[in-house]
Amino acid sequence: MPSDELPWTEHPQQRDESADLGLLAPSWAGSAVAGLTGDAGYLRALLDAEAALTRAQAALGLAPRSAAAAVTAAAAEPHRHDARTLALRARTAGNPVVPLVADLTAAVADRDPGVAAYVHRGATSQDILDTATMLVCARALDTVLPDLARTAAALRRTAAEHRDTPMAGRTLTQHAVPTTFGLKAAGWRSLVLDAHDRLASVRAALPVQLGGAAGTLAAFHAYAEAEDGRPPAPDLGSRLLARYAAETGLAAPALPWHTLRTPVADLAGALAFTAGALGKLAADVLTLSRTELGELTEGSGGGSSAMPHKTNPVRATLIAAAARQVPGLAAVLYGSLAAEDERPAGAWHAEWQPLRDALRLTGGAARDAAELTAHLRVHPHRMRQNLDATGGLVVTERLVAALTALTGRAEARRILDTAARRTAERDIELPAALDETLNEALPTAPCEALPMAPEALLTAPCEDRPAPPEAPSLSPSRLRQLLDPTGYLGAAGALVDRALERPEHPAQELP
C-alpha cells in the first residue's frame, strides 16, 4: 500500500502545527506537570513499563537476564521513537502500545536478536498503557504535592500574622458579622491540607496493571509451562504482580483492574477536590481584590493590553479557571467505571485525555497557588474601612443579644429590624435610628392598652391604672462598646490557633 494511502499519514504541514504547547492553556503551560504529562512523558512511561515487565519476568526465571538488560537498554533510548509517528500509527490498533511494541522489538533485535521475543511477552496493550498512565500520574503528583505543601506553609504564616486582623464576614455577597482575615486564611489552609492528604493517599495506592488478555495472567503461565515442561506454581501470577510493582515503584493490586477502574476514579475525585479547594482560595482573592474592596492584591499581578492602570489578579484567575474545568473531567472519568466485560471498548479509551487534562490543570493550579500565597499582599486598613462602611449594621446580631435582656428576643429583633431599615431608607446613623426606635418601643398607650388583667380593665378608672414602663435604653458608653466590630469576633482567634495546630507536610516530602 502506498504511504499516502495509509490510515495514519499526515500532511507535511501538520507536523509542526498540531503540537499543543499550552497557547490556550496558561493554567498549565510551563508547569512541571505539563512536561511530565506530554507525549514525551507518556512515551517515557510506556517504555519504562515495558522494560520493568521484562525485568520482573527475568527475576522470576520467566525470561533470561540478558533479555531484561537488552529491553531496559533499548527502552532507555526514547529518542529512537517518534511520538508523532506512533500517534498516527495508533489509529490502526486504537492505542499507541501496538506500534511501540513493534518498534521496541526491532530495537532490541538490533542489540540481541535472540531475546527480542521477550518484549511485551504475555502482556496486553492495556497492561502497558495503564501502568504507564499510573507512572505518569505518580510523577505528576510528586510535583503537585510539594506545591500544595508550600501553599499550606505560606497560609500558615499569613493566618498567624493576621490572627486578629478584623474584616467583614460576608454571606450571600453582603456584610454578615465581623470575622478575621486570619480565620479566613486558616480555612484556606485547611482545604489545602485536605487536598494534600487526599492526593498523597491516592499517590501511595497507584497500582501497576498486569492481567494479560482477559485478566487471568494465563499467557504467563503458558510460557512458563512451555519452557519448564511442567505446570507453574499456582502463585506465579501474584508473585509476578508483586515483582512488577517493585520494578515500577507502584503498588501491587489485588486483582487486574482492566474494568475495575477504582484507581482512576479515586484519582479523579482527589484531583477534582484539589482543584475545588484551590478554587475557593482563588474565588476569595478575586472578590477581595476588587477595586471597591481592595482588601487583597496579588504580589505581582498582570497587566492589561488596553488599560495601563490595571493590575489583574492573574494567578487567582487561572486557578479559578482550572477549578471550573476539573470537575467536568472527573465526571467523564467516573463515567468510565461502567466498563463492560473484561476489557472495554470506549470506556477505557475515554479516560486518556480527560485524565491528562485534569492532571495538568490541577498541577498548574497548585503551582499558581504556591506563587499566589507566597506573595499575597494584605491590606488591613481597607478591611477596617469596609468593616465600618455600614455604620455599625455589621454588629446588629450582637445588639439583638444585648437588647434581649431588656425586651425579650422577639421585641429585640423587631427593634433592630426597624432600626436597620430606617438606617438604609433615611440615610441616618444606626445609633440615631436605634435611639428613635427604642423610644417608640413601649410608648404611652391608651387606657385600654395598658398591661392589666382583663377584668381590671372593665372596672378600674383610667387614672388608677399603672403607668406604662419606660422605653428600654442603652447607655452611650455601652452602645459604643456594642457597635465596635472588633469586640465581636467570637472565637475567631482560638479557632485560628486550633487550625494551625494541624501540621503540613514538608515541601520536599514525597510519598
Summarised one tens digit per residue, pLDDT across range 185-208 is 999 999 999 999 999 999 999 999
The mean pLDDT value for 281-287 works out to 98
Q: What is the pLDDT of residue 25?
A: 77
- The pTM of this model reads 0.88
Instruction: Spot the catalytic one: 84, 343, 414, 422.
Output: 343
Report residue 388 as a C-alpha cell: 465600618
The reported pLDDT for the residue numbered 436 is: 87
- Check: CB of residue 58 under 8 Å from CB of residue 64: yes
Residue 450 belongs to what H/E stretch? none
pLDDT tens track for 244-276: 999 999 999 999 999 999 999 999 999 999 999
Whole-number pLDDT of residue 292: 95
Average the pLDDT over 506-510 and give the result.
56
Average pLDDT over residues 444-451: 45
Reduced to 3 states, what is the DSSP secondary structure of residue 443?
A: coil
User: Could you tell me which of 384, 385, 369 has the C-alpha nearest to residue 299?
Assistant: 369
Q: What's residue 16's pLDDT?
A: 55
Band of residue 448 on the pLDDT scale cut at 50, 70, 90: very low
pLDDT of residue 107: 96
Would you state the pLDDT for residue 305? 47
In three-state secondary structure terms, 448 is helix
Q: Let me know if 31 is a catalytic residue.
A: no
pLDDT digits (tens, 9 = 90+) for 117-141: 999 999 999 999 999 999 999 999 9
450-481, pLDDT tens digit by residue? 444 444 434 445 555 454 455 566 788 888 89
Q: Distance (Å, rounded) from C-alpha 96 to C-alpha 72?
A: 19
pLDDT at 310: 59
Q: What is the per-residue pLDDT for 27?
A: 82
Catalytic annotation, pick one of 15, 65, 304, 480: 304
Of 321, 211, 192, 247, nearest in space to 57 by CA: 247
Q: Is 343 a catalytic residue?
A: yes
pLDDT at 441: 66
Q: Which of 286-295, 387-396, 451-460 bottoms out in mean pLDDT, i.e. has the lowest?
A: 451-460
DSSP output for 337-369: T---SSS-SSTTGGGHHHHHHHHHHHHHHHHHH
